[in-house]
Chains A and B, each alone.
Chain A
Amino acid sequence: MHPAYSVILFTTASGAGYGLLVWLALLSATGVLPADRWLGFTGLAISLGLISVGLLASTFHLGHPERAWRAFSQWRSSWLSREGVAAVATYIPAGIFGIGWVFLERTDGIFAILGLLSAALAVVTVYCTGMIYASLRTIRQWNQPLVPWIYIALALATGAVLMLALIHVFGMESPWFSLLTAVLVGIALFLKQRYWSTIDTEKKTWTIGDATGLGKHGQVRVLDLPHTQANFIMREMGYAVARNHAEKLRGYVRLLAFLVPGALCLITIAPSALLATPAALLAVIAAGVGVAVERWLFFAEAEHVSMLYYGRPAA
């Protein structure tokens, strides 16, 4: 599948933003984070900023961005529509939670409840994002039960990496949160490894013989394509640029999205702020780049069943 760059930016940025929102809500409701105005402002500005930039970016690849509002209407059947509804719904409790924290310096009572509600909606939104892909039976590498959980795990892990950087920048420290972040990164890595081994070992279901119905007459080979130049289907579904380098790119993802941020999180346990703060910030950069590559690879490794008509032997 052709990687839609705006979708990669969207899912990476807003995933981290939603993850950060979850941690801001959880840690403030439990009193781990102080109800400090500037901490609240910075945290929520980064979180809601990333979410909004992502949502805006996701409209760039539309043929008619001005009609994007129509996408809220079909939540009964469409995961994309559900994602849109959940994304917008998250803003409402998150906004009131933010007003309480920034203007009233209160994160307890009703504000805590609304914060937790926005965290729940954030998780629902990311789940919907994952299901957009996981529900497509035409693409074996996406139609996997693990897919939405990987989206959630990565959102929570990248959000925690951001939260940890914030904690250190504000001169606080929390060894157990450093540890928790490293564990979350580890869980996400575990799920991603499981995912890769599943798509590598699973048998391909469909052949060019099934697609054309001509398999019973013998081996089917392409004699002539319908056209001399690549068409929309071949460019969109037949993207194969990265497939030969998949192993190498998976290595970069393992390193940048998981191992480096994981190790840096552990370094933040060090008592020296001189070491811990840069480590936490570096972890943010590595995780951001790593997850963007992971998303790109998620597209590039996906094979669409319609390419059978264009000569791919199996899908």
Chain B
Amino acid sequence: MTCLPTHTERKLGLVIDLDTCVGCHGCATSCKEWNTGGYSAPLSDIDPYGADPDGAWLNRIHSYEVGDGTESRTVHFPRSCLHCETPDCVTVCPTGASFKRAEDGIVLVDPDLCIGCKLCSWACAYGAREYDPSHGVMKKCTLCVDRIYNEHLAPEDRTPACVRACPTGARHFGDLGDPESAVSKLVAERGGFDLLGAFGYKPVNKYLPPRSRRDARTVSADAPDKAPQKQKIAAPTTAIESLFSWVDRALSR
């Protein structure tokens, strides 16, 4: 049914830390690998090793340059379906292939019902749905619905493939509808935000902002509390420690 549920019991989603993400594309690769054999398999590529490769991916990692001068920085930005609470991508679907689950809020496409009209991809504000030309149906992030409840997997693997793969721990998975969950607390603590919040689709996934820069160029004498804490070295007690202490001072000059 393409009418949206009025209420979902849980709001499963991702929290993505833009401060820690190093843009390695590991999550996207892991996603592709899992999902080409997963819920809506295959996730095909056309001419993958040729000059003009093309294919459906459910997760794309952008890299932006933000700001100018000393405060400028590179921000790596993974982008996938945000499992919005009130998205038009579901309601525009003429066949009922697109739906949002009442039990956990996951937005899915049923590959057996989809006619490949692409209207849902037009309705998504985030470019999160990609048409698979060789399968003739729409593909999107499933939040690894076939992993997170999968009792054949070890408990630590019952999490989305992207979260499991991220080498820097920049991706977190959990129930954003429960204010006591670890992800909700993380969002509150770090000031997590919505993409295009004013647009009105109410994304469930949240992004954590990059922290402000902390180094000699941005920290001045009149802001001592912001200065990186120098590790205090205890007064030397033995000759060998005196020697090291001298080496440390010499090297610090």
Contact = CB atoms under 8 A, between A and B. Distances in A.
Interface string A299-315: 00000111101100000
A231 B67 contact: no
Contacts of A305: 125, 196, 199
Given A77-B3, A226-B28, A214 B130 contact: no
B66 A304 contact: no
A60 to B, nearest CB: 11
Nearest to B75: A214
A246 interface: no
Given A70-B95, A211-B195, A213-B194, A226 B122 contact: no
A275 interface: no
A203 interface: no
B66 A226 contact: no
A222 to B, nearest CB: 6
Given A74-B95, A80-B94, A81-B94, A137 B199 contact: yes
Contacts of B25: 226
A5 interface: no
Given A63-B131, A221-B64, A304-B122, A76 B71 contact: no
A67 B115 contact: yes
Interface string B79-96: 100000000101111111
Interface stretch (A9-17, A21-29, A156-164, A232-240): A232-240
A63 B195 contact: no
Given A74-B95, A212-B195, A64 B116 contact: yes
A84 B194 CA distance: 35
A74 B125 contact: no
A271 B131 CA distance: 56
B195 A71 contact: no
Interface string B195-227: 110111000000101100000000000000000
Contacts, number: 194
B118 interface: yes
A70 B93 CA distance: 10
Given A136-B122, A218-B68, A233 B116 contact: no
Contacts of A61: 117-118
B112 to A, nearest CB: 9
Given A67-B115, A138-B122, A214-B75, A309 B95 contact: no
A37 to B, nearest CB: 38
A78 interface: yes
B66 A70 contact: no
Given A219-B66, A306-B127, 16 more contacts: A1-B122, A62-B136, A80-B119, A136-B88, A137-B88, A138-B88, A214-B210, A220-B65, A220-B66, A221-B64, A222-B63, A223-B63, A226-B79, A231-B55, A304-B127, A306-B124
Instruction: Give the 4 A-B CB pairs with smallest separation, nearest first.
Output: A63-B116, A218-B67, A63-B136, A306-B127
